[in-house]
Structure 1
């Protein structure tokens, strides 16, 4: 897996990799309170986009995910919300809906338009000020700040994200919000934006290095499985206090069924770099959103979705680490 850089870079197979490739009709915005260490991120697709979701974690906090089931009526979404604040943070979607409604976007129901905004939240209440959570005002502000190329690091839904809670949240490391994107020779783009707040540790599979995890007495990150197997066990963990959430965005032409499959395959990316993933303490959820007209096999899109999700996780913790070093003057 190649490290995610800011600018595009092509490999011998012609695949370009970058932090992000702008996609027509897609804008991404963040709003946050950095003193309180919480925030939200919105992926806007106001003209409508086919979408799917796969929730693998056992402690999820989600909104409007049932309507993404391929057997259900609604065929398009107008935005996706990622937020901190645990279940309280779902309120930020109200602001996203108001922003879209004011501009005439949403499902036409005859008497008006209803914007469809599914979302997922992560737990950051133990970091910063837990009484300050994303709300409708913050959700609206994220929409106003939306642009074609998203910011990364300790921003939006990643503002209070942490990684490696096997020894308690006081010995966890900063997570963050990361992105990664690829553009194939035929024009297919697959991109991911992920807020990394895992109970497990994050490892770079190319080197085996633990980038973020529970801090040992020497200040170095530890292997979560080793801690659980030989240390204090699960007594320091609280249910549902973690979660990695994200969105895969592609310019492929896809149905709801295909988007669901891409969201499912994208979870392979979490499992490659977060150890363990999908635990009883995580509410891991990934959305897939399709906005374009490029023809591509669903397996190709799904395979690259897993790659970009994994790279976005690594990017999130690296960006957060860089911010931490800068704030310390390292």
Structure 2
């Protein structure tokens, strides 16, 4: 159902501080902690002694200590010691490639030998002082592809987010969808409309009038395994729209990292990166609060959608032209998963997959 030989956002750095963090990703129960020097480590959340979750333990001087009998684990998954016992012969548990980069902790749940940090999704705004970012995390009880569908078809904004970012013009304006390699792009441009409440606030925050017609855009970019970056913004009408000079617009990138937890749940790392008034921390907090409320509305409907799909698994969902972004994203995912599961062929075709260690 989901690719494994890829990088997923597993946590934010503040979640992995002085205590271990237990988190299930792609049906793998993992524990994250900081080893010697503060480097993040990811292991199976399984003590080789009696099977207790290592995430219930503690970290002492960069070493993970099981909270059941004090067994001490090494960063490589091998047992280091245990009070009064000989444990050097214990079988190693699985360790996972993990990288801390651009304000996120990334994990590779698949074949460790294939993990290449160069394949982590680029986030140029995260390393640019002209941009500011604020976001959060939701644990959502629906499979990750439903969230991708939701983000690649923004016509739901008119109904789910009627008091914040929704407006009838989203329904009335056709979108265009195309696929470039493994990236799916859906775009919609609305010209000469009044801004909805969220964008009125953004215009005021950037020193612009909020009661004048604007040109609005939404450009959704899906990249496997499950990342959706959405270019959004408004510019005073007639000033160039998407290409308007900075002094006439308020724009940002909606950041969506959708990390599968199980076949019917996922971790949703959401946020907004903006390139106006990046030094204004109060504005960052205000935008994060507003965006958090918007995404909580998505959570409610997606979880009920998942419940209905489980209740009536035999029912086939209908596909309309507005679903093109989600449909094409699923095709890309199907292709990636099929290639990953294909047996190794002479000449290097296919990717070998090692079953996870129990």
Query: Highest CA radius of gyration, 1 or 2?
Result: 2
Q: Shared topology, TM-score over 0.5?
A: no
Q: Could you state the TM-score of these two structures normalised by the residue count of structure 1? A: 0.30
